[in-house]
Every structure is written in C-alpha cells, then in structure tokens.
Structure 1
Amino acid sequence: MYATKNQRVALIIIDMQQGMATEKAGERNNPQTEANIQRLLATWRQSQQPVVHVRHLSRSPESPFWPGQSGVLFQPAFEPLATEHIVDKNVPDAFTHSGLERWLHARNVHQLVVVGVSTSNSVEATVRSAGNLGFNAYVVSDATFTFAQQDYTGSFRTADEVHAMSLANLDGEYAQIVSMEEALAFL
C-alpha cells in the first residue's frame, strides 16, 4: 500500500552524522545517497511535512559517535531546523527508549519514509520496529547506503550485496522499498 495524499508522512533521516562521512567508515554503496536525501529533505520542508533527524550516540568511548566528538555532529547538509524533531539513540533501533513512537502518534503520523545509514544496521532495525508497531514504512533504496562486510561464514560481501539483502529482508514484511522519485510522489 502506498502512502496516500492528504495524510501526514514523516521523513525519518537516520544517522547522517559526520562520523559516517569519513573513509574510516569503510567501502560503501550508493554514492548519490546524500544528494538524494537533500532533495527529499528540501521537498519535505517545502510541503511542511514532519521531519525527524535520528542521531546515534555510542555507548563506547572508542566510537566516533561517542558524545563530545565531531563524529556525532550532523553533516552540515542535514543540520535540523528548529522546527524539526531530533531523536537520540544509542542502539540501532530509533524506536527503542527514544519516545519516537509516542511523538509520531501525537502528531497523527502513520506513514514513514526512511532514509540514511546504514541500510544493514540502523535503517533495518528501525524499519523492522516501525512495521511491527503498525506504521506504514517506506525505505528509499537510493537514499540509503551501507558498507561492505564479511558474512557469518567469512565470505566477503560488497556493500551493494549487503544493501540488497537488507532491502530484501524488509520488503513486504516490514516496509515497501521505493525509489526516491516514488517517495517524492507521496507529497
């Protein structure tokens, strides 16, 4: 089921922080992600639909996302406006212990367009919860990215392979996978 016009649709931007924009983060896919998120964000702002910025605050002092380090800061292109909601999390799922579900329900928002990083971690965890909580979630395939990694058997998987598997894990069960152009049509 696609989002319908005349309903509130929140744009959820996950972990677009400075720590994700470094080479240390690793080999990634979808180099157009940032430009696509910027376009979605501009459209959401123009339409005055809700925007939620999710920020990861690590529990590990060695992490670039440990509070007080530059890695925690939002990338300049994704700096929230004063009217936009910020959710701080310290686990991959943006719904866990954050008040996000309550915030969305209080604003009668039941449809979510999810973008950001990483597809195989925070995006997937958040979207699984969104689906389980009854939200209509849409993951924008070309406005999310992830990193290459070894699988459980020790085989190397490219970022494109990891991304495709994460999208497959979510599609139809917890969310619908859409393109940026399809997401723009929701407004």
Structure 2
Amino acid sequence: MQLRRLASFFVVLAGLVTASVSAYAADPENTMIITLKDGDVTIALRPDLAPEHVAQIKKLVRDHAYDNVAFHRVIDGFMAQTGDVKFGNMNKGFNAQAVGTGGSDLPDLPAEFSQAEHYKRGVVGMARSQDPNSANSQFFIMFGPAPPLDGQYTIVGNVVSGMDLVDKIKKGDEADNGTVTDPDRMIKVRIAADK
C-alpha cells in the first residue's frame, strides 16, 4: 500500500514537472529555436529561474549573434557547449585556438543559481569561468545528469523537442576536454515570437 502511494506521488510529481516545462514551451516569447544541420531544437527558456541570463540570451538571439556559432566543446554523455560569439562564428572570425574563451560585447552576469532545479538530460545551463559571476553568452545542453553542477551553474532552460538532434552533434576529443575539430554549428537561432 505504501509503495503504491509513493508510486502515485512520483507520477503526479512527474506530471507537474512536465506541465511546468510545457507551460514555458507554450510561451513564444521565451522559446528559443536552434536550427542544426539535422533540424530544429526547441528550448523553453526559464526567466523564472534566471531573468537576467534569459534577457541577455534573447538579446543575443535577436542580434543574430548566435547564428553560425560552433559547438566547440562536446563531451559524449555529458554536454554540448556553444555560444562563444567572439571566437566561435564559423562564417566570420572563427578561432580554433581561442574558441571557448570569449563571450560577447555585453557585460558578464551575476550568478542566478537555483537550488530547486537539477542538471539532467536536456537542461540548458550557462558556461562560466571560475568566477561565479562571469557567465556571458556561452551555454551548454546536457546529455545526461550531472549533480556536481547543481547550484554551481545558472540554469536557463530545458530542451522540449529535438533532443535526438542534440545527440547527433559531433563529439569532441575526451582527452582534450571535449575540443571538437571541424565542429557542428548553430545554423540559425531565433525566438519563436519573432516569426
């Protein structure tokens, strides 16, 4: 009996989490669509968790700063990192030695860590240096859970469709911290409200 109640609780909890993420996906103003070589990945942005980070991402998207930016660091089973608009644009200014060290012309952001949300498959987080207040434009999409990141990196969204396409992003060399030679890119990035 106790086991059945516990199972019912988890079913209800899973439904609430799904409904919560789906609610964000239904908001075109906070839905980011990344076109990859194999199709579109839809991300529900989470201004409820990280309003400043989400606002900066949306500004960069609307400035077309993310278009043609490489997935420069991709570690199988862990995450795919992109968003270095300074050194990662594969059509202009791509720098294989510097990609991953740059950001944008916008200011770095103060940390907006969440204790309630966890790093698991499909979560989108902001990359940063050792300084917790150094996130700028780079972000990563999780392939699987990573509890050590919880409360240490700002969560900005969740993939709601196209995770199978994220799985196909070219992986990097694990011996070289996931550095990718001839990387895949975000071909185009847009906010769903901007038809």
Instruction: Answer 1 or 2: which has greater helix percent.
Output: 1
Give the TM-score normalised by structure 2: 0.29
> Which of these two proteins has the greater Rg computed from alpha carbons?
2
State TM-score, norm by structure 1.
0.29
